[in-house]
Chains A and B, each alone.
Chain A
Amino acid sequence: AQSVTQLDSHVSVSEGTPVLLRCNYSSSYSPSLFWYVQHPNKGLQLLLKYTSAATLVKGINGFEAEFKKSETSFHLTKPSAHMSDAAEYFCVVSGFYGGSQGNLIFGKGTKLSVKP
């Protein structure tokens, strides 16, 4: 079965400093992994996705994530935080049933706060 664990429920950084949001996954298959972002009172927006083509994945707004199979991790990073990055971030693994597409398994979310 697939599962995902976001290691921090809340991360606070200062504007201009690096961001690290941690995610570990468990999957019986070669997983597809995603990060979604949700700004206050908004829907979820896809930040980036990993599909086994390259272990370092670049997304929108300067975010990137690295797939590390040996560590079963897919941490999200950004070199320099911006005030507009304040939001909730979800790490997601695909759930496959018998080789066919299934639902997505969402982590519980990490709330990112950015201080001026």
Chain B
Amino acid sequence: DAGVIQSPRHEVTEMGQEVTLRCKPISGHDYLFWYRQTMMRGLELLIYFNNNVPIDDSGMPEDRFSAKMPNASFSTLKIQPSEPRDSAVYFCASSRSGKGAYEQYFGPGTRLTVT
């Protein structure tokens, strides 16, 4: 399996621009998670989906952030308009429900820089 795929790997944009981050989970996984990692705040859960439905979006910082999962193999995280404080590494992770420990598998991350 290719693992969790994220694109782009790096994104540099100017303040006020729209940014879209993309994620393809591992095939067969029914949970998808979006995280943000910064030096100041560490790793934060933004939102997660089960079977394409958002379950908990309490970590989304504000209305400028939105996430969608139109099908089982694709999700987007959008920031509009972007601000310098959004600069961070954004990770997508997926997991499979059922018996087991529900470990999550992480993508390589998207490093976002907003100038």
Contacts and interface: CB of A to CB of B under 8 A. Distances in A.
A37 to B, nearest CB: 11
Contact of A43 (B48, B95, B102, B109): B109
Interface string B23-67: 000000001010000000011010010100001100000000000
Contacts of B109: 42-43
A90 B97 CA distance: 22
Q: Name the 8 nearest CB pairs between A and B, nearest first.
A: A32-B101, A51-B101, A44-B106, A43-B106, A49-B101, A43-B108, A106-B43, A101-B102
13 contacts: A32-B102, A43-B91, A43-B107, A46-B105, A49-B101, A49-B103, A101-B31, A101-B97, A103-B33, A103-B56, A104-B102, A106-B42, A106-B43
Interface of B: 31, 33, 42-43, 45, 48, 50, 55-56, 91, 93, 95, 97, 100-109
Contact of A109 (B42, B48, B101, B108): B42
Given A36-B106, A51-B100, A104-B104, 5 more contacts: A42-B108, A43-B91, A43-B109, A49-B101, A103-B48
A25 interface: no
Contacts of A101: 31, 50, 95, 97, 102
A109 B108 CA distance: 18
Nearest to B56: A103
Interface string A79-116: 00000000000100010000001111010110000000
A45 B102 contact: no
Give the residue among A32, A36, A43, A46 with the most B Cβ atoms within 10 A.
A43
A63 interface: no
